[in-house]
Amino acid sequence: MSDPRQRGATALRRGHGLRIGRRILHYDAVDSTNSRVLALHGDGVVVAAEAQTAGRGRHGRSWHSAPGQGLWMSVGFDRAIDGLLFAAALAVRDTVRDALSGRGCAVSLKWPNDVLVDGRKASGMLIERRGGRTALGIGINVHQQRDDFPEELRDRAISLDMAAGRELSRWRLLRALITHLDRRIATVEAEGALGAWTEWAAACAIEGRRIRSGEEEGVAIRLDRTGAIILSTPSGVRTVAWGDVVEQHAF
Ligand code: BTN
């Protein structure tokens, strides 16, 4: 078998970078951009919509996707990509950080893939698989003001305009996001997931956090290579997969 780094270099030389967004479909409204890319074919196709009528969040929740207020987009792949969660979380974090650079905002990752600005959620991500197809769905709050969010989210959500104190361009954000995704995903494909996992795990800073998952509550010891939390609970050490956590708090 050939050296994976050599294979990676060859893959990049063959132009496997800059693969995402060669085809971009933009709609006024769809049910969910994830559903749309799951129904399409082709690697790296992007679907973006002004509004989603049935936007999906993690844990079966709905995702508030009001017309023209956010970047609601998905990328479809014809296969599973090892390390996609880590690469995509870092790409979104970097996109948001670049967009707010010089504004004095704290941009951070909250396990597994929320991007927080000054401690409030600015972006969420949902990876879904159907058949051989993968959808990477990303929602970034851009133009909302506080009262545009549902009441129960007002103290926990933030938009990039609120953080920047001015109106940002969703089109520019989309272009920056595609560039970051393309680079990060090309890297995990070329070199394997370990580098992205290491950077992602450090950024999540999960150690010592109090975690509740179902009936279980404990303190996070570390993240494993799948992205799951190794949790110390009164009844022993447990593994909590990244779909299962309900709450997390710093002590
Ligand atoms: C979460 O934090 O719960 C994940 C939210 C993911 C929302 C995005 S918006 C674009 C894409 N389409 C969907 O239906 N969901 C994702």
Residues 6+ apart with CB under 8 A from 90: 109, 180, 184, 196, 199, 200, 203
Which pLDDT score, from 0 to 100, does residue 246 have?
A: 53
Which pLDDT score, from 0 to 100, does residue 144 have?
A: 97
pLDDT per residue over 98-136, tens digit each? 999 999 999 999 999 999 999 999 999 999 999 999 999
Is the pLDDT confidence value at 213 over 70?
Answer: yes
Residues 76-105 as b/e (b if ≥16 CB within 10 A, e otherwise) read: bbeeebebbbbbbbbbbbbbbbebbeeeeb
Evaluate the omega torsion of the peptide bond into residue 150 and state whether it is cis, within 30 degrees of 0: no
**CA separation for the pair 197, 227 (Å, rounded):** 8
CA of 232 to the centre of ligand 1 (A): 30
C-alpha distances in Å from residue 62, one per residue of 57, 171, 240: 5, 24, 23
Task: Report residues whose beta carbon is within 6 angstroms of any ligand 1 atom.
Answer: 32-34, 52, 55-58, 61, 63, 65, 72-74, 114, 124-126, 137-139
Which pLDDT score, from 0 to 100, does residue 54 have?
A: 97
241: pLDDT confidence band, cut at 50, 70 and 90? confident
Which pLDDT score, from 0 to 100, does residue 215 have?
A: 77
Is the pLDDT confidence value at 82 over 90?
Answer: yes
Is the pLDDT confidence value at 77 over 50?
Answer: yes
CA of 34 to the centre of ligand 1 (A): 8
